Amino acid sequence: MKSELPSLKPNISNASISIERIQGTDGIRATICRLEDISSSNPLAALLDEGLVTEEFFELYTYAYCQELLEAGFASKLDPVVIGWDPRDLSGHFNEAAVSGIRKAGLTAVVVDVLPTPAISLYQLHVRAACAFVLTASHNPEDQNGIKIFLGNSNLKLFPEDDKRLTQRCLNLNYKDLRKAPLLGDLRNDHLPARQLFLNFMADLNNHWLGDHSLAGITIIVDTANGAFSPIILELLEKIEADYVITNCDPIQGINRHSGVADLEGVDFINAQEIMEGSFFGYETLGEILRKGREQQDKLRTSSDLVIGFVFDGDGDRCFLLVYEPFLDGILVLGGDVQAFFQAKFLIKNSNCDYPYLFVNTVESDLEAGRAIQEAGFEIMQSPVGDKWILWQAFYSAWQTRQKFYIGKINDLKFNIMLEEANVKFDQMVSNSSFDALSATQTIKTLENWIRENINEELVMSAYKHASRRGNTYFAIGSEESGHVITLAKMDTFERSAPVFIGNGFKCALNSLAAILTLRRSKNTPKFFSWLKNPFPPGIQKSFPVYYVDKTLLEEDSVLRKKLKEKLDELKWVDKEVEIVKSQEEPEMLLQRVLENGLPVAAVFIRNSGTEDKLTLYLRGREGLSGNLDNIAETIYPFLLSAFKNKANPMVQAEKIVLSCLKEKAKRTSELKINNIPNISADRLLHEMSSRQKLIRKIGEFWNITELGLICLENYET
């Protein structure tokens, strides 16, 4: 279908830009900036050259994707497009710009305001929208924002092929002409119905496993990260009969600031001293869990009572579970791997399915988690980083379930030909790693529309209802260590049922708690809490982040990448097979896999973050290989810190100033000479230098430089 869009001249100022994709792992994320404050000639150049995103880019991006859907025939004039956001844009300028882009493309902007990501994506399925835009930078700091896209009908996120087309559209648009273009589409606000749909969805016992579990004796500290769950969490908790305390529920205090899941990544235990005066000092949720735990400490040592925390990220699609450990006076942090294991065991315990379920996790997960879940009775699959790949497996599995249902009901040559063509297309996507959300969704949509028109609507409705029953769909759990745990849910709307797979932090928290309560066998003992922390023999799982990097230095033709590969090759593995594996989905990731008798026992990989200004060294392996992996960390991490920083980045310049100040002696924050440096967040800088990169550490009121910090500084000075 040809769309009636404003006639926009090609953007000649972008002619020199050569890039396939501007997106990261999950859409767009960058530091926010007003157009008048950028050095670049236009918003797209500002994103690529300065790592900054402007309101004009938001308008350009939503307009471009709506244009894509119209020209592909996936949407028609004035079709609804759902748009919502987390609360980080206090001015509203970025939100308004994104809404404007939808309307200028000629579609209807259905605004749902501040809601968690799962509520926004659910509502776009409910109203059969062309797509949903979620304006969020997820767990990233408050000075950043971004855009996620969920495709209508399938709820898939965009894949590389979609990203490439959208990038080219953005490059071909002239933002100055777009600013003057008329608003062709309508506007409506559906915040209240979208909010109520999500409340009803979470009240449905089909959509979480807590059921009749008594929560007597359980105290829950709920951390909304000053984010999207803040305005709705009280109503969600009304159905949960437990003592609870809500923390970090005021967006004015800064989304994700000293809250949420981000600072807990890679941590499995926090001792009291770290909370009282160490790196987690000032974290309200941790302090409250410690206080509540100590109040009940004697009872917690002899009963089944628990003090736990539900900790979300800024847009609400992730969750970590925290548990006060009364025997050690500290806090256990249960990330995605551990929660997914408990949920997998719960499903096995409550399943009467006669074939194994599918469990999907990513390369970031503990290798031993997959091994333990396989031993529990699941088939396992490992995907690239990003929940979009997990959503693909869920989508494809649900389609296979419906396909089998149709085959048993339809005997028609035309249907058989269309079905064969669809399966060939999917096979090619998989074999060529050319995943395309729009093409996949259109293929199935076309086929099921044929069934509606040539058989009847009821058959399609029955197929979706069949696929929404647990046990009928092969996919069971998808998990990322970062806290995404995705399981089947069911949406009942307009007299139809449909399976739904969405990252949903609140659902994850309830399911993990239900699984633990179902699986536990004893009252609280040191052994019980040890089981909570390590329900399977853990492998080595270490991550070493490097912030403020030049991401081009890890590209396939980079000289530094070649040096990095040479350093990895020099590190020998005795009696092991070592191979460098190229990921088709993420070719710039450098992945070294270590095998023993043909089976993976360790993995070393370095990848640019798709959501933050960093790269990370990941080490995964069996416990017995700790010496090898520690040796790699000691060799590779200092090299990454020294060589991969973007020295033009103001944060890198500020980092150098801090390290230089601390070279001779420890100093207080006020003595570090960084408060007057433009375009940086001093709090963020000190946090990422200390808690994340371990370049500095704070003892009492004084900051001290570490050995890693000295290595980094030495590189700055040469």
Q: Give the full edge-to-edge strand order of the sheet including 28-32.
A: 52-53, 28-32, 144-151, 131-135, 80-85, 108-114, 187-189
**The pLDDT of residue 697:** 93
pLDDT at 106 over 90: yes
Check if the beta carbon of residue 703 is closer than 8 Å to that of residue 650.
no
Phi, then psi, of 288 in degrees rounded to 5: -70, -40
Question: What's the whole-number average pLDDT of the chain?
Answer: 92
| H or E stretch covering 210 | none
The pLDDT tens digits of the residues spanning 614-638 come to: 999 999 999 889 999 999 999 999 9
Once rounded to an integer, what is the mean pLDDT over residues 518-527? 93
pLDDT at 584 over 70: no
**Scanning the structure block, which residue is given the tokens 């993990």?**
512
CA of 375: how far to CAs of 342, 357, 365, 368, 372, in Å?
A: 13, 12, 16, 10, 5
- Per-residue confidence band for 382, with pLDDT thresholds at 50, 70 and 90: confident
Which two tokens mark 30? 């960058």
Q: Which residue has the higher pLDDT, 716 or 557?
A: 557
Once rounded to an integer, what is the mean pLDDT over residues 516-531? 94
- By three-state DSSP, how is residue 364 classified? coil
Q: What is the pTM of this model?
A: 0.89
Q: For the residues of 234-271, what is the DSSP string, one character each?
A: HHHHTT--SEEEEES--GGG-TTTT-SSGGGTT-SEEE
Which two tokens mark 333? 């942090």
Max mean pLDDT among 71-85, 382-396, 615-629, 646-660 falls in: 71-85
**The pLDDT of residue 11:** 60
**The pLDDT of residue 6:** 52
Percent of the chain with pLDDT over 90: 75
**The pLDDT of residue 691:** 87
CA 132 vs. chain centroid, Å, equals: 17
Angle 693-695-696 (CA atoms, 0-180°, nearest 5)?
120
pLDDT at 3 over 90: no
pLDDT at 220 over 60: yes
**The pLDDT of residue 7:** 53
The pLDDT tens digits of the residues spanning 242-273 come to: 899 999 999 999 999 999 998 998 899 999 99
The pLDDT tens digits of the residues spanning 302-354 come to: 999 999 999 999 999 999 999 999 999 999 999 999 999 999 999 999 876 66
In sequence order, the 6+-apart residues with CB closer than 8 A to the CB of 330 are 269, 270, 271, 272, 324
* Partners of residue 500 on adjacent β-strands: 489
CA of 662: how far to CAs of 624, 657, 671, 706, in Å?
A: 37, 9, 10, 9
Once rounded to an integer, what is the mean pLDDT over residues 427-453? 93
HEC string of 657-702?
Answer: HHHHHHCCCCECHHHCCCCCCCCCCHHHHHHHHHHHCCCEEEECCE
Alpha helices in 585-625 (DSSP H): none
Once rounded to an integer, what is the mean pLDDT over residues 26-46? 90
pLDDT at 1 over 50: no
CA 399 vs. chain centroid, Å, equals: 24
| Widest CA span in the chain | 81
| H or E stretch covering 479 | strand 475-479
CA of 660: how far to CAs of 277, 534, 667, 682, 715, in Å?
A: 25, 41, 11, 16, 12
pLDDT at 182 over 70: yes
**The pLDDT of residue 48:** 87
Phi, then psi, of 180 in degrees rounded to 5: -95, -5
pLDDT at 644 over 70: yes
The pLDDT tens digits of the residues spanning 6-24 come to: 555 556 556 556 688 888 8
User: In angstroms, rounded to a whole number, what is the distance separating the alpha carbons of residues 492 and 494?
Assistant: 7
CA atoms within 13 A on the CB side of 558: 19
User: In angstroms, rounded to a whole number, what is the distance separating the alpha carbons of residues 451 and 454?
Assistant: 5
Sort strands 80-85 and 131-135 into parallel, antiparallel or unpaired: parallel
Once rounded to an integer, what is the mean pLDDT over residues 204-213? 88
